[in-house]
Amino acid sequence: MCDASDLAIGAVLGQRKDNLVHVIYYASKVLNDNQRNYTTTEKELLAIVFAFDKFRSYLIGSKVIVFTDHSALKYLLAKRESKPRLIRWVLLLQEFDIEIKDKKGVENKVADHLSRIPCEEGSTQSTHINECFPDEQLMVIHKAPWFVDIANFKATGSLPLEFNKHQRKKLVNDAKYFIWDEPYLFKKCSDGILRRCISEEEGREVLWDCHGSTYGGHFARERTAAKVLQCDFMGPFPTSYSNNYILVAVDYVSKWVEAIATPTNDNKVVMNFLRKHIFCRFGVPGAIISDGGSHFCNKPLEALLLKYGVKHK
């Protein structure tokens, strides 16, 4: 129900159930100096435009019946020749499934009263409810996830322009094992289970929930927080299957030992070992103790430990 006066416009949003109208929202607005010079028809149509803009989140996609005491509006929506302002408003209303019906002024008392309520200067205004649709707002991310190229290819079929021929071929082959179900990307693993691809930030949260939290199933809270690893290289040994060293990590709490054979003893081997054999299997430790060799004391490894919040002693 919409109505307009010389000073303001008003609207009431309601829903009919069992032949009774249940009010959902009341709204009104004071006209500015320019709007007060509008004709009666323009003011009445302005009230409808104001109502649909105000109640858009409620009305979009639904059949809407507008009751007004200005019968000329019914024919205005179908009229091709009119003022540019009216045509612009009519175009705005075409987004909705709208039907205008006549209603006498005496039967439209609520909207009529809202359009005539005096508004005292300096009166307190309540905070408006945010009625924006989440899908109408852009999702902002600070860093693109590792699977962004595969997700774009599965969603749009586009390949990164900076990729060479071999990189594009590899991306197309890898994409066969992924499924895009907006807004998530899933990977078909070798065990037949679909697993959702997650960003590095979310991955750290998952690791903590599984291995570091009180319900992770590994240790109690105090014991988990105190997990300390000691890492060191053994060797060089006589070459065996191109390997000369053994990288060993011992958990101070459980005394569990992890060891791998490696061809070299550089920092890349240490970083790869921590990611694949420690962090993803046992969670992030509280601290790592080493002998202070160059393969442990270097900027790339320090950056990795800082990223996961691990102290190096």
Q: How far apart are the first and last CA of the chain?
A: 72
Give burial (CB, 10 Å; 0-12/13-18/19+) of 200: exposed
110 and 10, same structural domain?
Answer: yes
- Token output for 171: 């991306």
Question: Do both 242 and 294 map to the same domain?
Answer: yes
User: 189 and 91 in one domain?
Assistant: no
Residue 38's domain comprises: 2-116
Position 133 in a domain = no
**Is 234 a member of any domain?**
yes
In a domain, residue 288? The reply is: yes
The domain tally of the chain equals 3
Half-sphere exposure (CA, 13 Å, Cβ side) for 77? 20
CA distances in angstroms from 231 to 235, 264, 303, 313, listed in the order given: 14, 15, 17, 11
227 contacts: CB under 8 Å, gap ≥ 6: 219, 251, 252, 253, 283, 285, 286, 287
pLDDT at 222 over 50: no
- 26 and 89 part of one domain: yes
CATH assignment of the domain containing 282? 3.30.420.10
Say whether both 229 and 160 belong to one domain: no
Tokens representing 2? 């919409």
| Rounded (10°) angle between helices 165-174 and 148-156 | 80
Residues 99 and 184 in one domain: no
For residue 122, tell me if it sits in a domain.
Answer: no
Q: Checking DSSP bridges between strand 245-251 and strand 228-234, what pairing results, if any?
A: antiparallel
**Model confidence over 152-209: pLDDT tens digits?**
888 888 888 888 989 999 989 998 999 888 778 899 888 888 888 888 878 878 777 7
Boundary of a domain, candidates 116, 136, 164: 116
| Joined tokens for residue 141 | 């991310």
98 and 162 together in one domain: no
Is residue 292 located within the same domain as residue 263?
yes
State yes or no: pLDDT of 215 exceeds 60. no
**pLDDT at site 109:** 60
222 and 182 housed in the same domain? no
CA distance 88 to 52: 14
**Do 155 and 90 reside in the same domain of the chain?**
no
Give the global pTM: 0.37
State residue 166's pLDDT score. 92
Judge whether 66 and 101 are in contact, CB under 8 Å.
yes
pLDDT tens digits for range 94-103? 888 888 887 7
3-state secondary structure of 128: coil
Is the pLDDT at 66 greater than 50? The verdict is yes
Residues 236 and 158 in one domain: no
pLDDT at 81: 62
3-state secondary structure of 64: strand
Please report whether residue 135 resides in a domain. no
Task: Say if residues 13 and 25 touch (Cβ distance below 8 Å).
Answer: yes
Residue 110 has pLDDT above 70, yes or no: no
Same domain, 105 and 174: no
Per DSSP, the residues of 175-242 read GGGEEEETTEEEEE-TTS-EEE---HHHHHHHHIIIIISTTSSSS-HHHHHT-EEEEEEE-----BTT
Of all residues in the chain, the percent with pLDDT exceeding 90 is 4
Give the strands of the sheet with 194-196, arranged side by side.
178-181, 184-188, 194-196
**263-307 pLDDT, tens digit each:** 988 888 988 898 888 888 877 888 888 888 888 888 888 888 888
